Structure 1
Amino acid sequence: MRVGMLPAGIAIALAPAFASAQESGETQQATNLDRIEVTGSRIRGSDMETQQPIITLSRQDIERQGFTSVADVLQNLTSAGSPAIARSEALASGENVGGYYVDIRNLGATRTLVLVNGKRLGATTGGYQDLSQIPMSAIDRIEVLKDGASAIYGSDAIAGVVNVITRKRYEGAEASAYLGQYGEGDGDTQQYSFTMGSSGDRGGVTLSVEYFKQEPVFAKDREFSKYGNAGPDYPGSGWSPVSQNGSFCDPCSPTSAARWWTLNDGGNPANRADYHEITAAEYANSNEQMYLQTGIERRSVFANANYDITDNITFNADILYNHRSTDQQIAGYPYQSGSFGTPLDADSVFNPMPGDTAFRRRLWEVPRTTQSDLETYRFAGGFNGYFELAGRGWDWDVGALLNRNTSTRSSRGDMSLIASRQALGPSFIDADGVARCGTAADPIDGCLAWNPLLPYGVDGPGSLADPDLQNFLFPVFTNTGLTRTTSYTANVSGGLFDLPAGEVGLAVGVEHRKEQGRYVPDAFAQSGESTGLGATTTEGSYNLDEIYMELNVPILADAPFAKELTINVAGRYSDYSNFGDTTNGKFGFTWRPIDELLVRGTYAEGFRAPTIDNLYGGIGTSFESYTDPCGTGAVNSVNGNAACNAAGVPAGYVQLGQGLVPCTTYPCQTPDQFISGSNAELLPETSKSRTAGLVWSPRWVQGLDISLDWYRYELENMIISDSVDRILRDCYVLGNADRCNGITRAADGHISSLFYGLANLGSMETEGFDLGVKYRLPELSFGQFTIDWQNTYTSKYDEEGENSDGEKIMIGQVGQSGIFRLRSNLGVDWQMGDFGANWTARYYSGMKESCVTARPCTSPDHYANGEPDAIREVGSNTFHDVQVNYKTPWNGTVAVGANNVFDHQGPLMFSNSSYRHSDYPYYGGFDIGRFVYIKYTQRF
């Protein structure tokens, strides 16, 4: 019994995982003795960390949280934005699906740079950097810089930098096991790892091996996702009229309302009299077959080796292998013969009507399944050393990075149109009762006929349940991809000369990098000969050369009201083969008026270069969900205005969805494929960021540290995938005729074709505050307590838009799902001898969304930017995590914990933009249930 797996594991093991505090302390002590390079600066020296807002997560911090990937840990930082591709996005496609990505400040995952030991993590053709490649067992600490750093690291470091630092010169061995599952008895999770290392006087080798697997979760097993996108209060609402029971159209005149007929229970599919008009109760709830959370399996190996060739020269190498496999499932395809010109032929043995017959049938017997495999090989190696020049110490390093990602995406469940045209054509029943294509006198070899009007679960000739017919109609589609990152770097840093306040530090470096990528869709997708989304090949490359310089200048030291005053300046010149060159700078200062108070600030310029997919991506198609402002069924309809009339939209028009049935809920999915594409003329995005903050450690309260940082980001020339809703609003609501050019409407008024692509569309601004309070209380007779309270308050998150007069304005987004006014984490840790416990409360402030039909509006008369903007608001949400642990006498650690221990569920969100990063009416960043786990770590 699945529910019993975890309790049994607890009873058997009574010994899951936690890293030794003694080992962590020894590691930290060793690190502090080195001249380290802190994330955000190339000048080695531990005092650089205080100049910028940096969060450091130690190995012990990570293990207390009970998560199984780096991205899960980072996603729970208060400064983290919505997940780039949540595992609840069942309909997501392409090479990025299955990866784990981090997004700082809600600026997008491609605007946060990810490093491993200071070197770039390889990216997909879309620029996404998959953190799941890094085995948790290999990590020593994670440093998160919440500030722009393009002057130091180049492209992508707009929002911040995540630097994952691995264990080195580890001595001994460590084995760990992790088991977990949701309270509903699903999402079974297992993770096993082994780390061993050996070190000597001149070097060491550390090896980490990890295996992880988590089973998928079905949407039908959660209340918020089982009823379709309308939620449990509206069962059946929003279900698809393209039913698994099949139906045909009679009449089908374009000038009158279509009527659809489906087979009676036990009826004869060849007898027209045995059909009745389909009812809403017979519509399809696609969520019954869809995953709420994708399944994933990973195998990782990470090795580090370093050797002191001489006292001043060291060789260092990192090697990573990772294989990730992700499973997706969505409902059988909603086949509509009118979309492909494949009616049931007049001479089909299954046709109950005279002449060719239009039909629709959801292919329920063969759900659409996809397995996405990504294999990563990574080598980062080089030499570093130390020398003295004119009595001053200098550090240097040269290195190379080779990262190769190979992806294979195999899917089944979309129908071959080549096969369906034959299977729906003339047919007959042979002497064995098998439905075959052609005629008895002239059969088509190897072709089986299909009866799309035979309901799901009903046997008979031409049934889609026939395995042979499935094999004929449903091929396996395979997409392949390959990306390579090659980089060569050289850096030197040291002291130039002394000022009265100290030594002036300098860092200079050069980098040459080449990015190559290719993603090749299956031949069926490229030819359009399947029900799947069309796509063409993405392929391209670019290279760049960069040089940077950084100076750290101490101005004052040990002066009245200036125990320290230091400035830091940096600049980087980048020359790209595709768009040209760019220069970016950064300035920072540190002022310590008294010993316990630090004042800091930065100003940084940043950029993000367009990716291979941005520039050279192929054409893609999708069935988008949107709200047509020319339809009368939607809130804030503009039906009858000049723009809608000019497009030929009839008065009183109601938006048509799948099966050309009038929509009753919004957003509503189009019955026709829309087209998207790349843009070879894109320019880099640019940004400016500012931070200012205080760090206060009052001497009269030992163990208390308080930090308060203000931040502001301004982005220009953003590379954004245009949205259907944005285009329609610009065209019909704001009256921008240029935005109407890619829209085609059919005679009945519905949008039959629409193109949306990439462009340097506009700008955005975000501003807010981070407040952190850490307090390690004096040790008491009943244990040691540590309190950690982290907060991010977003005061502004504005995106560029236009008002009704066509003037550009900034539209506020704070309060939308994922862009929370306040995120707050409060953690309390208790340690007493060999026992410990940890509790964390994760708080998200309330959300708002635009009202949609048939839903209550809390503010129906709300206006924004001078236009009606009825909204619905919901309250805040708090999720609680707990863990207890025990260090055994045999050098092991056992921990039992639960994330979302009270099984809290967030509110339903009904508009597509509001449930953000999810295909269900629920914010994709919220917990989907109580998750209970047990960990055991044994050190040798």
Structure 2
Amino acid sequence: MTLKTNKLRDAISFALVGTSALAASGVAFAQEENKDAGQLDTVVVTGSRIPRAELENEQPIITVSREQIEKQGFSSVADILQNLTSAGSPAISRANALSSGEDVGGYYIDLRNLGASRTLILLNGKRLGVSTSGLQDLGQIPMSAIERIDVLKDGASSIYGSDAIAGVVNVITRKNFEGAQADVYLGAYDQGESKQDYSFTIGANSDRGGLTFSAEYSKEDPVLGGDREFSRYGNSGRNFPFSGWSLISQNGVWLGGNCSSGLCTLNRGSDPRDPNNYHNITPAERSNANEVMYVQTGLERKSTFLSASYDITQNIRFVTDIGYNKRITQQQIAGYPGNYGFGLLSANSYFNPAPGADQYWFRRFWELPRRTRSELQTVRVSLGLEGSFDLNDHLWTWDVGFLSNENTNNKYARGDAYVPALQAALGPSYLNSATGRVECGSSTSPTPYGTNFGNGECIPFNPFLPYGQAGQGSLGNSALQAFLFPEYHDAGKTQTTDYTANIAGSLFSMPAGDFGIAFGLEHRSEEGRFVPDAVNQAGQSTGLPATTTQGSYSLDEAYLELEIPVLADLPGAKELTFNVASRYSDYSNFGNTTNNKFQMRWRPMDGLLVRATYADGFRAPAIADLYGGVGGSFEYYTDPCGIGAPGTVNGNAACNAAGVPVGYVQLGQANVPCTVYPCQTNFQFLSGSNPNLSPETAKSKTAGIVWSPKFADGLDLSLDWYDVKIDDTIISDSVDNILNDCYRNGIAARCAGIVRNSAGAITNLFYGLTNAGGLRTEGYDLGVHYRLPEFSLGKFTLDWQTSYTSKYDQLADNSADTKWVGYVGYPGIFRVRSNFGVDWTKGDFSIAYMARYYSGMKETCASAPRPCSDPTHIDTYGNLDKQNRTGSNTFHDLQFSARLPWNATASIGANNVTNHLGPIMFSAPNSSFPYYGGFDIGRFWYVKYQQRF
């Protein structure tokens, strides 16, 4: 005999797979099981620890069933969840080629646009492991192992602890799987980049237990910027070729050379030592870095997952989940834009076209694109005992568990020059008549020729030789590449260890039902480290300097949840139930916090449910937030004190007090005056962690109704309102926010970290992490789901999900003069997201269609040649903030499936079947290109085949 809770669990699993109504209303009505008892026992649902006789809940939950997963043309958990209307922008977009670190290539979910670190991910009710930055990778779970996905769109820190501010995603894996199943997924864009996924699942069961094993392999090709129209021409987009191309060209630039502009490049094929062989560089000879950058990173993943259970006794069961995942991510951006800042070409270099004086140069190292290969291995082991017993004629359940989740990360990168070697290669050199080679040093003081800088060897470099032109000193020389560009290795590891104990049941019976209670204890520890290559730590490469992240913390928690039935089976009150919960958390680093939750479930009549919640929430700082050290970056920003800046305030009191000269012009890369804003600095700005951070705190409120009218069988309607406010957010100020507050808004406290030189240029600006400001969002979720009665043409199901964001405001800091600024309508924060689906089935054939709608976006359009539909817009502070608004976007997906006589199913379909592309967005939201990183990048065709044995 199995545990009592299994009777309902099996029935509920069947109900979840068999009805897609859950996705519309967030409510599941318990199915009666034809057993001798005549009724079902209880089950625990996501968002509560108290077992109940039905899944109908006072909380807004969406459930994505196995059937729904298979009817979509996506091959990852995150892609499916990202298309929920309540999902925000991708956390670490694979369209952002400039992203780096251990999180790149992972699959993350961001509910309500509150950030992926504020959405808690569970696997079978237990936490996933986190990276040092606090992100949880859904990609470690094989799609083939998933039974369903519960998405709780409500705060749940009182039940689960930290991170559950925006909501909870609980991935439930297959249990009691019998037989075997093989799946093949093959797809490609019109342009040819492919995706493939192969999986196999096998399971067996007995009277006392069962085992399910899944294995999966997937691979996705990278997408090059040059292969998409919107990414081909850099930050200017498809409409303005050459705009945004870099003066630091792969053809080499001699500054102050023998040409009229002083920006000279070699006549291709001529002698670079002759100063008369140079001409003014033309726009077409500049560097278009985007054409070799990845629009979408390449990805390869191997994963296995084992789930098993065994009944030790009639009422005690052993359960375990064991998972392994290896993720390999490939990134590529253009070769480094080398320049004289790393060393002048020596006056005594053999390659100097004007010997006797050091020469200034630019040269993008086009021959060596900066490539990064990240490998992340995850090993997860979950062990537990669970059981049940009767006490005073009430069923009680208990469980104890242990979880270990270890992530090991290794990153290998090549393409950034080793600065000491570069300086040596630019130094004195001569033609060795004995070898016929140009070698470092001089004939009287030669340096050994070779690739090992550590052994005193050297190979000279000619920065004026264009890409593709052979000759001595050419970067096409593999030996010179080996000398200048070593491979860098970063390594990291995170470890989550968790011990849990829970007990739940009914204390006594009341007239309206049983008084439920759940109580639990948890001890968890998090430790992590990420160690960059020693060269990067020392700041000796052309890449960004980085520091080690290393630290740990632990916590002890206890929670209590009560279910209080007040009224039942009365006129106007078929049910009125209250649920209260509280969780106490004691952290080793910042102290303790208590979070409470109050919920109400009222059913005035059959088919109508009214629900409401009020909840506290919190997010503890991640290890990287606390112990991440300090790193540098070359930021894009707009200096309000520059005369060319949009809405310049050059000459005002704040700029004058900072010593900025009247008429100052902001300088960008290579100290060239900025003409397009924001403009990238030539100086590294520092940002970093803070060991004294406190947790973020939150208040969330929801209220909603669910109606299944009797007069329309199969129709389910739901409407939910939400309001979330987060205080003491962990933020790293943007450079623009700091500058605007200091110079435009007159907030003197914001000026302290800005360092300028005598010419007025900003040479350093620290914007480290702090608890400051806040975030608040408010909106509505509407669900309409209609299962039409079956007739001669088959079965039709209609599903319409819409999320409306009425408010999304941010407070940059806690200064008295700082105002809440609204961001609804900016890329990723859509006013309206809506999905409409039609599912048709007749016999062995089915068709699934979905339209994904996104309302229009807006962005600043201060600098030409950007289009500008609202040139008179005034921002929150009363300043002119020109904006451009784009239209809405709709993507259409279509899939046709057929069940085959040999126990197989074949499907063919297309995501974005109309090949729709979004608008050019100059702000490059969630990407490295002028395109929103959450949109489809083309039409994607696929075929799927499933064979059951």
Q: Which TM-score bucket, shorter chain as reference?
A: over 0.9
Aligned partner of 1:852 in structure 2 is 862
Mapped to 2, the partners of 1:770 and 1:880 lie a distance apart of 21
Mapped to 1, the partners of 2:372 and 2:925 lie a distance apart of 22
Aligned partner of 1:406 in structure 2 is 408
Residue 251 of structure 1 deviates from its aligned partner by: 7.6
Cα deviation per residue 1:701-748 (whole Å; 9 max; x = unaligned)? 000000000000010000012111111111111122222222222344
Question: 1:356–1:408: structure 2 CA closer, same or farther, 3 Å change rule?
Answer: same
User: Considering only aligned residues, what root-mean-square deviation do their CA atoms show, in Å?
Assistant: 1.9
Residue 101 of structure 2 is aligned to residue 94 of structure 1: yes
Cα deviation per residue 1:77-117 (whole Å; 9 max; x = unaligned)? 00000000111100001111111110000000000000000
Is the 1:735–1:806 contact (alpha carbons within 8 Å) kept by the matching residues of 2? no
Mapped to 1, the partners of 2:760 and 2:284 lie a distance apart of 27
Aligned partner of 2:333 in structure 1 is 330
Residue 786 of structure 1 deviates from its aligned partner by: 0.3
Residue 777 of structure 1 deviates from its aligned partner by: 0.2
Three-state SS of the structure 2 residue aligned to 1:443 is: coil
Three-state SS of the structure 2 residue aligned to 1:448 is: coil
Residue 848 of structure 2 is aligned to residue 838 of structure 1: yes
Is the 1:852–1:910 contact (alpha carbons within 8 Å) kept by the matching residues of 2? no
Three-state SS of the structure 1 residue aligned to 2:768 is: strand
Between stretches 515-524 and 345-354, larger displacement belongs to 345-354
Three-state SS of the structure 1 residue aligned to 2:381 is: strand
Q: How does 1:630-669 map to 2 (within 5 A)?
A: 630-669=641-680
The letter of the residue matching 1:873 is R
Aligned partner of 2:889 in structure 1 is 877
Is the 1:141–1:165 contact (alpha carbons within 8 Å) kept by the matching residues of 2? yes
Residue 33 of structure 1 deviates from its aligned partner by: 5.7
Aligned partner of 2:140 in structure 1 is 133
Between stretches 115-124 and 864-873, larger displacement belongs to 864-873
The letter of the residue matching 2:926 is H
Aligned partner of 1:377 in structure 2 is 379
Three-state SS of the structure 1 residue aligned to 2:413 is: strand
Mapped to 2, the partners of 1:770 and 1:267 lie a distance apart of 67
Mapped to 1, the partners of 2:65 and 2:436 lie a distance apart of 68
Is the 2:95–2:926 contact (alpha carbons within 8 Å) kept by the matching residues of 1? yes
Indicate which of 252, 256, 269 corresponds to 1:250.
256
Aligned partner of 1:926 in structure 2 is 935
Q: What is the aligned-residue identity percentage?
A: 60
Aligned partner of 2:394 in structure 1 is 392
Mapped to 1, the partners of 2:755 and 2:90 lie a distance apart of 33
Mapped to 2, the partners of 1:741 and 1:809 lie a distance apart of 20
Aligned partner of 1:11 in structure 2 is none
Residue 25 of structure 1 deviates from its aligned partner by: 4.3
The letter of the residue matching 1:127 is G
Indicate which of 737, 747, 753 corresponds to 1:736.
747
Residue 711 of structure 2 is aligned to residue 705 of structure 1: no
Is the 1:41–1:48 contact (alpha carbons within 8 Å) kept by the matching residues of 2? no
Cα deviation per residue 1:269-321 (whole Å; 9 max; x = unaligned)? 11122222323332111001101000000000000010111110010000000
Aligned partner of 2:832 in structure 1 is 822
Aligned partner of 1:513 in structure 2 is 524
Is the 1:39–1:49 contact (alpha carbons within 8 Å) kept by the matching residues of 2? no
Aligned partner of 1:201 in structure 2 is 207
Question: 1:757–1:823: structure 2 CA closer, same or farther, 3 Å change rule?
Answer: same
Is the 1:21–1:60 contact (alpha carbons within 8 Å) kept by the matching residues of 2? no
Indicate which of 521, 533, 537 corresponds to 1:522.
533
* Number of equivalent positions: 910
Cα deviation per residue 1:547-568 (whole Å; 9 max; x = unaligned)? 0000001000000100000000
Mapped to 2, the partners of 1:435 and 1:714 lie a distance apart of 66
Three-state SS of the structure 1 residue aligned to 2:729 is: strand
Aligned partner of 2:760 in structure 1 is 749
Indicate which of 163, 171, 179 corresponds to 1:172.
179
Residue 755 of structure 1 deviates from its aligned partner by: 1.4
Indicate which of 784, 799, 804 corresponds to 1:773.
784
Aligned partner of 1:185 in structure 2 is 192
The letter of the residue matching 2:366 is W
Three-state SS of the structure 2 residue aligned to 1:578 is: coil
Residue 802 of structure 1 deviates from its aligned partner by: 7.8
Mapped to 1, the partners of 2:652 and 2:254 lie a distance apart of 36
Aligned partner of 1:420 in structure 2 is 422
Aligned partner of 1:41 in structure 2 is 48
Aligned partner of 1:14 in structure 2 is none
Mapped to 1, the partners of 2:156 and 2:261 lie a distance apart of 59
Aligned partner of 1:262 in structure 2 is 265
Aligned partner of 1:364 in structure 2 is 366
Is the 2:133–2:625 contact (alpha carbons within 8 Å) kept by the matching residues of 1? yes
Mapped to 2, the partners of 1:165 and 1:527 lie a distance apart of 45
Mapped to 2, the partners of 1:626 and 1:450 lie a distance apart of 33
Aligned partner of 1:474 in structure 2 is 485
Three-state SS of the structure 2 residue aligned to 1:319 is: strand
Between stretches 665-674 and 103-112, larger displacement belongs to 665-674
Mapped to 2, the partners of 1:468 and 1:563 lie a distance apart of 81
Three-state SS of the structure 2 residue aligned to 1:489 is: strand
Residue 943 of structure 2 is aligned to residue 937 of structure 1: no
Aligned partner of 2:565 in structure 1 is 554
Question: 1:46–1:522: structure 2 CA closer, same or farther, 3 Å change rule?
Answer: farther
Aligned partner of 1:898 in structure 2 is 910
Mapped to 2, the partners of 1:348 and 1:714 lie a distance apart of 62
Between stretches 550-559 and 622-631, larger displacement belongs to 622-631
Three-state SS of the structure 1 residue aligned to 2:231 is: coil
Is the 1:295–1:327 contact (alpha carbons within 8 Å) kept by the matching residues of 2? yes
Residue 265 of structure 1 deviates from its aligned partner by: 2.2
Is the 2:40–2:53 contact (alpha carbons within 8 Å) kept by the matching residues of 1? no
Three-state SS of the structure 1 residue aligned to 2:144 is: helix
Aligned partner of 1:119 in structure 2 is 126
Between stretches 859-868 and 288-297, larger displacement belongs to 859-868
Residue 645 of structure 1 deviates from its aligned partner by: 2.4
Is the 1:240–1:283 contact (alpha carbons within 8 Å) kept by the matching residues of 2? yes
Question: 1:802–1:735: structure 2 CA closer, same or farther, 3 Å change rule?
Answer: farther
Question: 1:465–1:711: structure 2 CA closer, same or farther, 3 Å change rule?
Answer: same
Three-state SS of the structure 2 residue aligned to 1:129 is: coil
Q: How does 1:678-689 map to 2 (within 5 A)?
A: 678-689=689-700
Residue 820 of structure 2 is aligned to residue 810 of structure 1: yes
Flag structure 2 segments of 5+ consecutive residues without an equivalent. 1-12, 21-29, 34-38, 451-457
Question: 1:884–1:46: structure 2 CA closer, same or farther, 3 Å change rule?
Answer: farther
Question: 1:23–1:52: structure 2 CA closer, same or farther, 3 Å change rule?
Answer: closer
Mapped to 2, the partners of 1:372 and 1:380 lie a distance apart of 26
Three-state SS of the structure 2 residue aligned to 1:808 is: coil
TM-score when scaled to structure 1? 0.95
Mapped to 2, the partners of 1:150 and 1:22 lie a distance apart of 28
Question: 1:368–1:802: structure 2 CA closer, same or farther, 3 Å change rule?
Answer: closer
Residue 884 of structure 1 deviates from its aligned partner by: 0.4
Q: Which runs of 4+ in 1 moved over 4 A?
A: 20-34
Mapped to 1, the partners of 2:671 and 2:281 lie a distance apart of 14
The letter of the residue matching 2:587 is Y
Is the 1:116–1:163 contact (alpha carbons within 8 Å) kept by the matching residues of 2? yes
Mapped to 2, the partners of 1:63 and 1:134 lie a distance apart of 16
Three-state SS of the structure 2 residue aligned to 1:344 is: coil
Is the 2:747–2:817 contact (alpha carbons within 8 Å) kept by the matching residues of 1? no
Mapped to 2, the partners of 1:300 and 1:33 lie a distance apart of 36
Mapped to 1, the partners of 2:147 and 2:937 lie a distance apart of 29
Cα deviation per residue 1:578-616 (whole Å; 9 max; x = unaligned)? 000000000000000011111000000000001110000
Aligned partner of 2:288 in structure 1 is 285
Indicate which of 224, 240, 243 corresponds to 1:237.
243
Cα deviation per residue 1:524-561 (whole Å; 9 max; x = unaligned)? 11001110110010000000000000000100000010
Aligned partner of 1:5 in structure 2 is none
Is the 2:773–2:813 contact (alpha carbons within 8 Å) kept by the matching residues of 1? no
Aligned partner of 1:908 in structure 2 is 920
Indicate which of 273, 278, 285 corresponds to 2:276.
273
Flag structure 1 segments of 5+ consecutive residues without an equivalent. 1-19
Residue 648 of structure 1 deviates from its aligned partner by: 2.9
Cα deviation per residue 1:864-921 (whole Å; 9 max; x = unaligned)? 222222111111000000000000000000000100000001011112xxx3211111
Residue 162 of structure 2 is aligned to residue 151 of structure 1: no
Residue 185 of structure 1 deviates from its aligned partner by: 1.5
